[in-house]
Structure 1
Amino acid sequence: MLAEVPSGALADRWSRRGALVLAGVLQAVAYALWLVAPGLPGFAGGLVVWGVGGALVSGAFEALLHDGLAAAGAGDRYGRVYGWVTAVDLLVQVPTALVAAALFASGGYAAVGWVSVGTCLAGSVLAATFPEAPRRGGHDDDTDDGWWGTLRAGVGEAAGRPAVRAAVVLVVLLGGVDAVDEYLPLLARDWGVPDAVNPLAVLGVPVAGAAGAALGGRATSWPPRAVAAALAAAGAALAAAALVAVPAGLAVVAAGYALYRLVLVVAETRLQQAITGPARATVTSVAGVGVELAALAVFATYAVGGLVLLAAAVLLLAAALPRLART
Structure 2
Amino acid sequence: MGWAALSGTVPFYSLYALLFTHAGLTGTQISALFAIWSVVGVLAQVPAGVVADRYSRRGALVAGALLEAGGYGLWLGLPSFPGFAAGFALWGISVALISGTVEALLYDGLAGSGADGHFATVFGRVEAAGLLATIPGALAGGALLRIGGYPLVGWVSVACCLAVAALAYRLPEPPRGGATEPPCGGVTEPGCGGVTEPGCDADERSRRLPDAGEAPDHAGRGSYLAMLRTGLAEILTRAPLRAAVLLAAALGGVDAIDEYFPLMAAGWGVPAALVPVAVLGIPLAGAAGSAAGPVLAGAGRGAMAAVLVVAGLALGAAALVHRPVALAAVAVFYALYRLVLVLVDTRLQERIASGARATVTSVAGLGTDAASVGLFAAWAAGGLPVIAALVLAIGVALPRALRRSPVPAARVGATPR
TM-score, with structure 1 as normaliser:
0.97
| Match for residue 42 of structure 1 among 65, 72, 83 | 83
Task: For 2:219, give the aligned amino acid.
Answer: D
Q: Is the 8 A contact 1:68 1:132 kept in 2?
A: yes
Could you list the runs of 4 or more consecutive aligned residues of structure 1 that deviate by over 4 angstroms after TM superposition?
A: 136-139
The share of aligned pairs that are identical, in percent, is: 53
Which residue matches 2:241? 164
Q: Is the 8 A contact 2:74 2:83 kept in 1?
A: yes
Higher fraction of helix:
1
Q: Is the 8 A contact 1:63 1:281 kept in 2?
A: yes
| Match for residue 268 of structure 1 among 335, 342, 345 | 345
CA distance in 2, matches of 1:221, 1:140: 34
CA distance in 1, matches of 2:115, 2:395: 30
1:103 counterpart = 2:144: yes
Which residue matches 1:192? 269
Which residue matches 1:223? 300
Task: For 1:141, give the aligned amino acid.
Answer: G
1:153 counterpart = 2:230: yes
Which residue matches 2:204? none
- RMSD (Å), alpha carbons: 1.1
| Match for residue 309 of structure 2 among 222, 232, 238 | 232
1:74 counterpart = 2:74: no
Deviations 1:153-207 (A, max 9, x none): 1111122211111110110110000010001111111111111111111110000
Q: CA deviation at 1:326?
A: 0.6
Matched residue SS, 1:326: coil
| 1:15-164 alignment, distance < 5 Å | 15-136=56-177, 138=217, 140-141=219-220, 144=222, 146-164=223-241
Deviations 1:240-272 (A, max 9, x none): 001101011111100011000000000000000
1:259 counterpart = 2:300: no
Q: Is the 8 A contact 1:230 1:263 kept in 2?
A: yes
Q: Is the 8 A contact 1:220 1:270 kept in 2?
A: no
| Match for residue 287 of structure 1 among 361, 364, 374 | 364
| Match for residue 306 of structure 1 among 359, 370, 383 | 383
CA distance in 2, matches of 1:221, 1:170: 19
1:214 counterpart = 2:255: no
Which residue matches 2:51? 10
CA distance in 2, matches of 1:171, 1:148: 25
Q: CA deviation at 1:139?
A: 5.6
Deviations 1:61-89 (A, max 9, x none): 11110111111221111110000001111
Q: Is the 8 A contact 1:79 1:218 kept in 2?
A: no
Which residue matches 1:315? 392
CA distance in 2, matches of 1:244, 1:101: 32
Distance 1:65 1:95, change over 3 A: same
CA distance in 2, matches of 1:321, 1:73: 28
CA distance in 2, matches of 1:89, 1:4: 20
Which residue matches 2:207? none
Q: CA deviation at 1:140?
A: 3.4
Task: For 2:243, give the aligned amino acid.
Answer: A
Higher Rg: 2
Q: CA deviation at 1:138?
A: 4.8
Which residue matches 1:177? 254
Task: For 1:322, give the aligned amino acid.
Answer: P
Matched residue SS, 2:219: coil
Identify which of structures 1 and 2 has the higher relative contact order when contacts are C-alpha pairs closer than 8 Å and 6+ apart.
1
Q: CA deviation at 1:220?
A: 2.2
Q: Is the 8 A contact 2:64 2:93 kept in 1?
A: yes
Matched residue SS, 2:383: helix
CA distance in 2, matches of 1:157, 1:298: 28
Matched residue SS, 1:2: helix
Q: CA deviation at 1:107?
A: 1.1
Task: For 1:140, give the aligned amino acid.
Answer: A
Q: Is the 8 A contact 1:192 1:246 kept in 2?
A: yes
Q: CA deviation at 1:111?
A: 1.1
CA distance in 1, matches of 2:91, 2:235: 26
